[in-house]
């Protein structure tokens, strides 16, 4: 059976709830985020994983642990969220007040990363995933997972702008014949 790669976005944080760009700021989950993370567990039990990877940031690590995979997870620094530079902690609305035509996907974060930078990290993750002998589970963040999906499909990193991703959701990458595909996207946790 072809490999599946399951992407799990972390649960809610104070900043994700208020739509603030949260890159390297290491925020904990809210109470709702903890509940969401626990609810991810039953959905993820549909698979047996050969490899579990997580971002080193506490919101992903805690989601991984609460979903039931903390004891198996390997921390992978390439899964850290996009570095937004001087836009860290700001909402898109705040940013466009001073930079009306700004796009994260085109312009990146000043003093931070560009889409190409994040794409290089995603390519390294994909190379590691494809070495695994079986399905892989990844706990990480919205923008880096969107870039990873885009690169999985051999699209440019900027293609991630087309894949909206909510907190505490599950998405499934895989293959149809030998072509990389998105099998499922943005599934909520089990109710």
Tell me the two tokens of residue 88. Answer: 């860290």
**Is 81 among the residues known to form the active site?**
yes
Q: In which residue are the tokens 């991984």 written?
A: 64
Catalytic residue among 10, 21, 141, 143: 10
Other Cβ atoms less than 10 A from the Cβ of 137: the count is: 24
Give the dihedral of Cα atoms 168, 174, 179, 184; nearest 10 deg: -50
Q: What is the DSSP string of 68-117?
A: T-TTT-EE-GGGSPP--GGGTT-BHHHHHHHSTT--HHHH--TTS--HHH
How far does the chain reach from its first CA to its final CA, in angstroms? Answer: 28
Other Cβ atoms less than 10 A from the Cβ of 23: the count is: 22
Answer for the pair 8, 54: CB distance below 8 angstroms, yes or no: no
Q: In which residue are the tokens 């293609």 written?
A: 159
Catalytic residue among 12, 21, 62, 81: 81
Answer for the pair 49, 135: CB distance below 8 angstroms, yes or no: yes
Catalytic residue set: 10, 81
């Amino acid at each position: 059976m072809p490999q599946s790669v399951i992407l799990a976005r972390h649960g809610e944080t104070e900043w994700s709830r208020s739509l603030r760009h949260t890159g390297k700021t290491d925020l904990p989950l809210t109470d709702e985020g903890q509940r969401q993370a626990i609810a991810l567990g039953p959905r993820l039990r549909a698979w047996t994983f050969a490899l579990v990877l997580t971002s080193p940031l506490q919101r992903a690590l805690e989601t991984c642990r609460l979903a039931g995979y903390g004891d198996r997870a390997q921390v992978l620094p390439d899964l850290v969220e996009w570095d937004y530079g001087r836009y860290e902690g700001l909402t898109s609305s705040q940013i466009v007040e001073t930079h009306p035509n700004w796009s994260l996907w085109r312009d990146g974060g000043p003093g931070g990363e560009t889409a190409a930078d994040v794409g290089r990290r995603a390519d390294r993750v994909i190379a590691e995933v494809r070495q695994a002998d079986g399905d892989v589970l990844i706990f990480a963040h919205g923008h880096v997972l969107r870039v990873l999906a885009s690169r999985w499909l051999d699209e440019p990193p900027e293609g991630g702008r087309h894949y909206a991703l909510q907190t505490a959701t599950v998405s499934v990458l895989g293959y149809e014949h030998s072509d990389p595909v998105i099998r499922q996207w943005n599934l909520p946790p089990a109710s």
